Structure 1
Amino acid sequence: MAKEAQKEHNQVERALKTRHISMIALGGSIGTGLFVASGSAISTAGPGGALVAYIGMGIMVYFLMTSLGEMATYMPVSGSFATYSTKYVDPAFGFAMGWNYWFNWAITVAVDISTIALIMKFWLPNIPGWIWSMVALVIIFLVNALTVKAFGETEYWIAIIKVVTVVVFLIVGVLTIFGIMGGHATLLENFVYKKAPFVGGIPAMLSVFVVAGFSFQGTELIGITAGESETPEKSVPRAVNQVFWRILLFYILAIFVIACIIPYTSPDLLGSSATDVKISPFTLVFRRAGLASAAGVMNAVILTSVLSSANSGMYASTRMLYSLAKQGYAAKFFSHTTKRGIPLAALVGTTIVGLLTFISSVAGPEIYMWLVAASGLTGFVAWVGIAVSHWRFRRAFIKQGHDLSELRYRAKWFPAGPIFAFILSIVVIVGQDLGAVKHMNWEAMGVTYMAIPLFLIMFLYYKIKYKTKLIPLDEVDLSKPDITKE
């Protein structure tokens, strides 16, 4: 397995620099979840409830990233946690985890290019939306087909745009809170308005955990990019260590600013959606400060965010399909790479799936909605896989007589970190639609929780067919590739 991992690491182009990895990690956690969905979180649970939920989810994501960082610096491969699940848990677990994650991002690409068509209507409402979706898909394909560096540079500059937007928003927001811009100083009055700061109790806060979880999905791309990093032992720990503080700065402060300026009872917050930039909380705050062109600017920023999500999704799903083929979990054809190290066959295969899914959104909306629903929980399932794999990796590492000083990067607060992440991920998965569970609405439950039986079917299929077993800790393969050699 170590030789295969070494061969994989040498076949792909190691062109992602430390600045790329850091910005990809940041870009993965800043998107429509922050720019738009944060408004509905405040509306649902109040300012205090939203802040508690996002802080809790931020801590969980930090622990997950440190777990992933420890394994990724020990063995940097494009298969990331799917490969670790195979090596440290059970081949059947790795098989299901890999296909689960590929499916997640392949469908997400289709969702994102559909969203791009809706966003473009803001400027050009008379042009058919499918044209913009096709243009976006072609651009994303070309960026991923050129070089790894092209992908890294694209994500880097898109992330820069998002960072600048958030920083400007925070500055304008603080000035508005104190009445320096926008007239009336709100200070903390909206934190004690009516039922604030906590609205709806624990159930409302739990529902916001779900929103926050979707907002933070994409941070695990750190593990995928490690396989093509020039110096994973340096870039991955740096990116991981910055995740927590970035989440704290960009999410917690942004939600605090929004909550101070806009009361949780505002109907605009309740109606927040990824396709209506006019009621994005960022747009509302900018307008309150007297910036009339806010909607156009925020629409452009949200457009870049969705493009970034689709671009990252194409990259992640392509590398996962490539890795699955390398491990024998997918057709060998998908393991072929170009001279520049691009897994072109896997890229074409993923693009075709994304294209067919997008076409279904036009030709058969019901099929499309089921596909989207089926991918809904796959990101959280991947997080569970990261926590389980790290738990098993560290226990096997110690049991086989290794010393923690051998690790180039060490996860924080083990074993509390992965245990906390595992439990909270399960809570969020179960809490997706408690109303449907309570009222035994089988159709709603089927749509919401479809990803779980799909994962179990893949797991049981491989386990029964190949009669795999949980790998004993003293038999876990801890050999690692020498990434310093070509």
Structure 2
Amino acid sequence: MDDSSHDIVEKYAHNHHRQQPQPQSLTQSLSQHLQPVQSGGELHRHLSGRHLNFIAIGGTIGTGFFLGMGTALAKAGPAGCLIAYVFVGSVLWCVMVSLGEMATYIPTAGAFSAYATRFVDDSLGFAVGWLYWFGWAITYALSLTAAGLILQYWAPHVNIGIIIAIFWTVFTLANFLPVRLFGELEMYLSSLKVLTVLGFILFGICVAAGVGQEGVLGFRFWHDPGAWHEYLVPGAVGKFVGVWAVLIQASFAYQGAELVGVGAGEARDPRKTVPRAIRFTYWGIMGLFVATMFLVTMLVPSNDPRLQNDTSDASASPLVIAAQRAGVKVLPDIINAVLLTAVLSSANANVYSGSRVLLALAEEGQAPRIFCRTDRRGIPTWAVAGTAALGLLGFLNLSASGGKVFDWLLNISGVAGLTTWASTCLSHLGFQRALRAQGVPRSSLPYVAPLQPWAAIYGLFFNVLVMLTQGFTVFIDWNVSDFFAAYISLILFAVLWAGHKIWYRQPFVGPAEADLVRGRYDQGERSVAVDEGI
């Protein structure tokens, strides 16, 4: 966030951002409530590198990790799973290094929509920001619901509505804590997940070597039932379809790693903290995902019927299935407890990330200015409250008809992350064009992303391809309702972008007019110096 002592610099940057057409009368009345602010709330830079790491890890390792690997193995087989997860990891790397270069130079909260607005198009930033905010806000409702379902593993007669209400209150209040305390809470919650995964990796190595009751496993299940599975259609095409289905699933599972960029606006010394956090987060998440998936393919055959179990507790987790096959009886309760911790940690990160994106939208004039307000501790109270309010949609699950609506809302959240990844790569291409046009050498940046611009192009291409094909199964077995459920998020994105473009009629951002000044890293350093009394 910009310090108030830099108002003159900010006004200069804002006035030279680009010439905008005169709004119509109705637009003018709206713009009184939706206009860029020069210095909204003042976030405090109290997040360390480890806080950023664990906020991102906490938002990534959730039910998709503990439960999703089982269905992935059943769809594509061991070889197909590993190829899909490693490939999506390469796309994620392109997103992360592109984000790192921008977030280090201009560390701002809710970076994705701000970068799209500054370097590509106002309408793109508007659409990406609102879709991403809604995705995390509705995921908060999902996390609360999942926590209730997991607790019913031990107490099946407890009303899930009571559980949702309790956890909603706890984690909404947690997001009103000073950001340093919030970071510590998220770090401890995420640490339990990481320790569990590391423990499973050690356990899996021992079982594969012959400690379990099935003897030495090695690559037995790669040979029988085989390294590849046919999915939906027979033959080689079916094997490809299985890999592509898992590739889409892996794209959803990795989402959350980009939360390092959300926290950049509150990072201490972002010039050093952000690049280090991005490297640690990426390699940490990739290592945990790929190592766990590799061991799961060795410990659990891809035709085990329990992998297709449609429950929400630990019984469907391949980690539990591996322990049961090895003869370990106590692990299901342990994994279920960790799964509960994973879901609650995700809920904590959901409100944090959503509130910072809402703050960024308000600062760029794309949301009501009230969401810029922060209290004396640097907490964007209105943005937190607005994001947390959508968590109450979890109560829709208490009725059958409401549950159908909730499922449609969740489909929006799944693709919201992919639109953010794609826009990050596109924004980085615009950022590089702006640097060249304004005579700023990339070598002068605090962090220079490798393999550019090719990494950003690679990431942009495959993110857009996955977005367009993520509902491909409806074309194999056509159903109109399933089609709209799969593509409602892209339809909403198009409506948001087109509606904003038609209403405001603003041109795409020219590289010479792109804003490279407001919120720059050297201003952040001065702000930190003031905060810490240096």
8 Å Cα contact 2:103/2:264 also seen in 1: yes
Aligned partners of 1:198 and 1:372: how far apart in 2? 28
Q: 2:251 aligns with which of 205, 213, 217?
A: 213
Mapped pair 1:92 → 2:133:
no
Aligned partners of 1:28 and 1:18: how far apart in 2? 16
Aligned partners of 2:173 and 2:442: how far apart in 1? 42
8 Å Cα contact 1:207/1:431 also seen in 2: no
Aligned to 1:246: 284
Q: 2:218 aligns with which of 174, 179, 187?
A: 187
Aligned partners of 1:291 and 1:457: how far apart in 2? 52
8 Å Cα contact 1:74/1:407 also seen in 2: yes
Q: How many residues align?
A: 484
Q: 1:455 aligns with which of 481, 487, 493?
A: 493
The 5-angstrom pairing of residues 212-361 of structure 1 reads 212-271=250-309, 273=311, 275-355=312-392, 357-361=393-397
Q: 2:474 aligns with which of 436, 440, 456?
A: 436
Deviation at 1:461, TM superposition (A): 1.5
Mapped pair 1:421 → 2:459:
yes
| Superposition TM-score, scaled by structure 1 size | 0.95
Shift in CA distance, 369/407, structure 1 to aligned 2, threshold 3 Å: same
Q: Which amino acid in 2 is paired with 1:391?
A: L
Deviation at 1:225, TM superposition (A): 0.3
Aligned partners of 1:369 and 1:248: how far apart in 2? 28
Identify which range, 23-32 or 389-398, moves more after superposition: 23-32
Q: Which amino acid in 2 is paired with 1:321?
A: L
Secondary structure at 1:135 match in 2: helix
Mapped pair 1:162 → 2:196:
no
| Superposition TM-score, scaled by structure 2 size | 0.87
Aligned to 1:403: 441
Aligned to 1:111: 142
Deviation at 1:415, TM superposition (A): 1.6
Deviation at 1:468, TM superposition (A): 0.8
Aligned partners of 1:351 and 1:25: how far apart in 2? 19
Deviation at 1:130, TM superposition (A): 1.0
Aligned partners of 1:120 and 1:440: how far apart in 2? 36
Secondary structure at 1:309 match in 2: helix
Aligned to 1:15: 46
The 5-angstrom pairing of residues 112-191 of structure 1 reads 112-191=143-222
Deviation at 1:10, TM superposition (A): 7.3
Deviation at 1:176, TM superposition (A): 0.5
Aligned partners of 1:211 and 1:44: how far apart in 2? 10
Q: 2:430 aligns with which of 392, 395, 401?
A: 392
Deviation at 1:287, TM superposition (A): 2.9
8 Å Cα contact 1:384/1:426 also seen in 2: yes
Gaps of 5+ in 1: none
Deviation at 1:183, TM superposition (A): 4.6
Aligned to 2:10: 3
Percent identical pairs in the alignment equals 34
Identify which range, 322-331 or 226-235, moves more after superposition: 322-331
Shift in CA distance, 22/365, structure 1 to aligned 2, threshold 3 Å: closer
Aligned to 1:368: 406
Deviation at 1:289, TM superposition (A): 3.5
Q: Which amino acid in 2 is paired with 1:298?
A: I
Shift in CA distance, 10/367, structure 1 to aligned 2, threshold 3 Å: closer
The 5-angstrom pairing of residues 54-65 of structure 1 reads 54-65=85-96
Shift in CA distance, 165/7, structure 1 to aligned 2, threshold 3 Å: farther
Aligned partners of 1:229 and 1:214: how far apart in 2? 26
Deviation at 1:412, TM superposition (A): 2.1
Secondary structure at 1:288 match in 2: helix
Which is greater in Rg? 2
Mapped pair 1:484 → 2:525:
yes
Aligned partners of 1:167 and 1:292: how far apart in 2? 19
